[in-house]
Structure formats: C-alpha cells, structure tokens
Structure 1
Amino acid sequence: MDLNTITEVVRRPSERPGADWRDGDAWLAGGTWLYSVEQPELSRLIDLTALRWEPLVRSDEGLEIGATCTIRDLYAQTWPLDWTAGILFHAACEAFLSSFKVWNAATVGGNICMALPAGPMITLAVALEARCELWAPDGSGRFVDALDFVTGEHRNVLTPGEILRRVTIPAHALRRRTAHRRFSLTRLGRSTVFLVGTQGRGGTDLSLTLTAGTTRPVRLDFASVPDARTLRQRIDALPADVWFADANGTPEHRRHLTYHFAEEIRRELTAGDLP
C-alpha cells in the first residue's frame, strides 16, 4: 500500500538512531505490516536496515538476535547439537501466517514489537527466557524480560522513540528440553493457541508458556512437574480478561484447548523420552 502522507525517508540514520525522533516518525525494518494498512498519522520513516545490525551472534553466553534479523535468516540457521531447544526456532517461524515473500522481509524485532497475541517470535522469546535490549532517544538503554515486554493486544513497554535493538537468549535456556503444541482453525491459519513447555536437562522442573490464546504472553513456572490437577488449577487461576477473543476462537474455546495441550506437554516432558 502507498503511504501518501510520508514526506521523507531517512536512509542513513545515525548508528544509534532516535536522537532526532519526532511526532509522525516510524521505524522501518521489513515494513510488512507498516505497508499493509493506512498510516495517516505518519510523515517520516527511518530505515533501520541501513544500519546492518548483525542478525545472529552466538557466544558461550547464548544467542543474540538483532532486531532486524529476518524470519528467513532465523529459519535457515543450524544450531549446535547441545542447543536442544533449537527445534523451537523452526516451529515459531512456521507458525507465521505468511508467504515466503513476507519471510524474506519480516523481522524478529518487528513481530515482537507488533505485540499481536499470535506473534510467534513473542512465543519463542518468552519460552526461552529472552531479554530485550531497548534504546531510548536520549542515548540511554535498558533491558526488559521478554515476558514483560508485551503488555496486551498491540501494546508493549516501548516509549515514544524507543527502539528494540536486540533479543538475547541465555545458553542455559537453549539447552532445555522442549515440547510444543499449536492449534489453528485451518492448516495455514493464524494460531488460536500456541503453547511451549521447557525443562532443564535431567531436571524435574517445568515452564509452560501460553500465547496466541492470551492477550499477553503467560509463563507458568513449576519447581517440579505438577500433576494434572495442579496444572489445571494454575490455568484456572489466570485472570478472565487475559483470554483473547477474535474470529479464530472465543476465550472459552482457547481455555479448553489450553487445558488439553498443556496436559499433553506435561505428559510428554514427564515421560523423559525427549533429548
């Protein structure tokens, strides 16, 4: 879609963009959402791809994902054998309701910042205990846990002019055992629910991340794998307004699916037949 209110595109922003942020600005990365709907309030775009941030950086501490890393680049990576959670990267990328053309442009940071309930990069980041590095227009920075970054449908903690620079995943999270479940009304449809369970190698703990069926990501942490009743009680204890409603499912439907898939994940991780 043509954005006919745009009067300027900043093609060469400063290395730490944001100092001259003003009303009417928007960050431009993949642009797959930005160009999909009218944006009458915008007058200037600041092109982040010109900064050529490193998409993926591995280290002994874990993995850094640059905010402008494309879904295509993330999906194409092969991970060390001891990163047993690496299977989640493919699962999250494949959860996108999009064509290969969108994969070539859409970015990890863009999907997280959109704060859609069905945003699969949000699921990935929360399940793997990621932290988000944010840059403010005044040059300061801060870190926010991915679990706390999205606060509701289309809402996040970013302040005007603030930008998501990178997402960091700790090494210990990449070595956890995982199980995941996803449901959509059609084979290639938007997620109605997307659940991820993780467990320490050789451990008895359980972390269960709930997304798509909730307006914000939820993670339920257990020191030891709960029984079915305890797990259901924790789900029941969630606030009623956390369940999401749209054409893909009612809150009641999404809660029902969550009960079902959460129990499947609990049994799978309890069975101990995963790497």
Structure 2
Amino acid sequence: MDLNTIDAVLRPTTRRALRNFSAGDAYLAGGTWLFSEPQRHLRRLIDLGGCQWEPLQSGSWGLSIAATCPVATLDGFEAPAEWIAAPLIGQCCRSFLASFKIWNMATVGGNLCMGLPAGPMISLCAALDGTCVTWTPIGGERHIKTIDFVRGPLQTALQSGEVLRRIELPSDAFKRRFAFRRATLSPLGRSGVLLIGTRAGRGRFTLTVTASTRRPVQLAFQSLPLPAELSDRLDATIPGDLYYDDIHGAPAWRKHMTYEFAEEIRRELMRPAP
C-alpha cells in the first residue's frame, strides 16, 4: 500500500543518525505491517536497512538475532547439535503461515515490536529466555526480558525514539527439552493458542503461554508439577480478561485449549529423555 502522507525517507547508516527521531516518524525494517494499512499519523520513515546489522551471530554463549533479521534467514540457521531446542526456531517460523515474499521481508524485531498475541517470534524468544536489547535516543542501552518487552497488542516497553537492536537467546535455553503446541480455527489460520514448555533435565519446568493471551505469560516450576498444581497456577496467573478475543478465537475456547495443551506438554516432558 502507498503511504501518501510520507514526506521523507531517511536511510541512516550509523547509530548517531538514529537520534533524529521525532513525532510522526516510524522505524522501517521489513515493513510488512507498516505498508499493509493506512498510517495517516506518519510523516517520515527511518529505514534501518542501511545500518547493515549482521542478521545472526552465535557462539558458546548463545544466539544473537538482529532486529532486522528476516524470518527466512532465521529459519535457515544451522544450530550446534547440542542445542536440542533449536527445532523450535523452525516451528515458530512456520507458525506465520506466510508466503515466501513475507518470509523474506518480515523481520524478527518487527514481529516483536507489533506485540500481537499471535506473533510467533514473541513465542520463540519468550520461551527461550530471550533478552531484548534496545538503543535509547541518548546513546544508552536497555536490556529487557522478552516476557516483559511485549505488554499487549501494539504495546511494548519501547519508549519514544527507542529502537530494538537485537534479541539475545542464551545457549542454556537451547539445551533444554521442549514441547510445542499450537491451535488455529482453520488449517491456514492465525494462531489462536501457542504454548511452549521447556525442561532442564529432570528439573526446572517452564511453560510459556502466547497467542491465547493478550501478552505472553510464563509459569516456572522448580520441578515438574502435578496436574492440579499446573491447573491452579494457570488459574492464579491468567485472569479471565487476559485471554484475547478476536475473530481468530473466543476467550472461552482459548482458555480451554490453554489448559488442554498445558497438560499435554506436562505429560510429554514427564517422559524420560530419549
């Protein structure tokens, strides 16, 4: 879609040039949402492509994903053999159910910054203990856990002029066993429920709830809980008005599937590792 209110497009190549953010500006990465509907409040776009951030960097410490990294590039990442949770990357990338054109344009950071419940990059980064690193307008940095970065649909922890620079996923998170569950109302529909469970050996169990709730929710247990304990924690952590309500699923259905998937994940991770 043409954005006919735009007067200028800036293409900064340095961090210092990013400090010119003002009212009526928007950062542009992939632009798959930005160009999908009218943006009448915008006057300038600040194209981050000129910064040429390295899409992916990995090492013994983990994986760093640039905010401008395309989904297709992340999906093609070849993880070390000991990162047994790395298949989550492909599962979450395929939860977009998008065309190859979207895959090659949409960015990981853009998906997080939209904050939409069905954003699968939110699911991935929250479940793997991701930290969002932002650049502030005055030259500083902030480190925000993904679970706290996304606050609701179109709501994030970003402040005016702040830009998401990268997401850091620790190697320890990739070394946990995992279980993935997702539900949609139609075969090619948007995620209505997406849960990911991880377990470190026979110890700590973490359940990350996304898509069914307005923001990501995470439940942590020192060991695998009993069914009633898991259900009680869901009751206590997710109030009824936190379940999302839109054309892709009613709150009652989303809540039912959240409890159903939570128990399925608990049982899967209860089994001994292969």
Q: TM-score, normalised by structure 1?
A: 0.97
- Equivalent pair of 2:182/2:195 in contact (CA under 8 Å): yes
- For 1:145, the aligned partner's letter is K
- For 2:265, the aligned partner's letter is I
Deviations 1:69-99 (A, max 9, x none): 0000001111111001101000100000421
- For 1:85, the aligned partner's letter is A
Deviations 1:170-218 (A, max 9, x none): 1100111100100001122100100000011x23221000000000000
Q: State the alpha-carbon separation in 2 of the partners of residues 68 and 126 from structure 1.
A: 18
Residue matched to 1:68: 68
Residue matched to 1:214: 213
TM superposition shift of 1:15: 3.0
**Residue 219 of structure 1 aligns to a residue in which SS?**
strand
Residue matched to 1:170: 170
Q: State the alpha-carbon separation in 1 of the partners of residues 30 and 121 from structure 2.
A: 14
Residue matched to 2:49: 49
Q: State the alpha-carbon separation in 2 of the partners of residues 273 and 131 from structure 1.
A: 28
TM superposition shift of 1:253: 0.7
- Equivalent pair of 2:10/2:44 in contact (CA under 8 Å): yes
TM superposition shift of 1:273: 3.8
Deviations 1:140-174 (A, max 9, x none): 11100111001112111111110000000111001
Residue matched to 2:12: 12
Residue matched to 1:226: 225
Where do residues 20-169 of structure 1 align in structure 2 (5 Å cutoff)? Answer: 20-169=20-169
- Bigger drift between 87-96 and 233-242 goes to 233-242
Q: State the alpha-carbon separation in 2 of the partners of residues 264 and 118 from structure 1.
A: 20
- Equivalent pair of 2:93/2:121 in contact (CA under 8 Å): yes
Identity fraction in percent: 49
- Bigger drift between 39-48 and 233-242 goes to 233-242
Q: State the alpha-carbon separation in 2 of the partners of residues 41 and 154 from structure 1.
A: 15
TM superposition shift of 1:16: 4.3
Q: State the alpha-carbon separation in 1 of the partners of residues 219 and 55 from structure 2.
A: 30
Q: State the alpha-carbon separation in 2 of the partners of residues 249 and 273 from structure 1.
A: 34
Gaps of 5+ in 1: none
Residues 165 and 236 from structure 1, CA distance in 2 versus in 1: closer, same or farther, beyond 3 angstroms?
Answer: same
- Equivalent pair of 1:213/1:243 in contact (CA under 8 Å): yes
**Residue 129 of structure 1 aligns to a residue in which SS?**
coil
Gaps of 5+ in 2: none
CA RMSD of aligned residues (A): 1.0
- Bigger drift between 4-13 and 56-65 goes to 4-13
Q: State the alpha-carbon separation in 2 of the partners of residues 12 and 137 from structure 1.
A: 14
- For 1:221, the aligned partner's letter is A
Residue matched to 2:271: 271
Q: State the alpha-carbon separation in 1 of the partners of residues 125 and 177 from structure 2.
A: 15
Residue matched to 2:234: 235
Q: State the alpha-carbon separation in 1 of the partners of residues 135 and 231 from structure 2.
A: 39
Q: TM-score, normalised by structure 2?
A: 0.97
- Bigger drift between 121-130 and 4-13 goes to 4-13
- For 1:127, the aligned partner's letter is A
Structure 1 runs (4+) greater than 6 angstroms displaced: none
**Residue 144 of structure 2 aligns to a residue in which SS?**
strand
TM superposition shift of 1:18: 2.8
Q: State the alpha-carbon separation in 2 of the partners of residues 70 and 30 from structure 1.
A: 8
Deviations 1:26-69 (A, max 9, x none): 10110000000000011111110111101110012111000000
Q: State the alpha-carbon separation in 1 of the partners of residues 29 and 127 from structure 2.
A: 24
**Residue 18 of structure 2 aligns to a residue in which SS?**
coil
- Equivalent pair of 1:24/1:42 in contact (CA under 8 Å): yes
- For 2:207, the aligned partner's letter is L
- Equivalent pair of 2:112/2:119 in contact (CA under 8 Å): yes
Deviations 1:107-135 (A, max 9, x none): 00000000000000000010000100011
- For 2:104, the aligned partner's letter is N
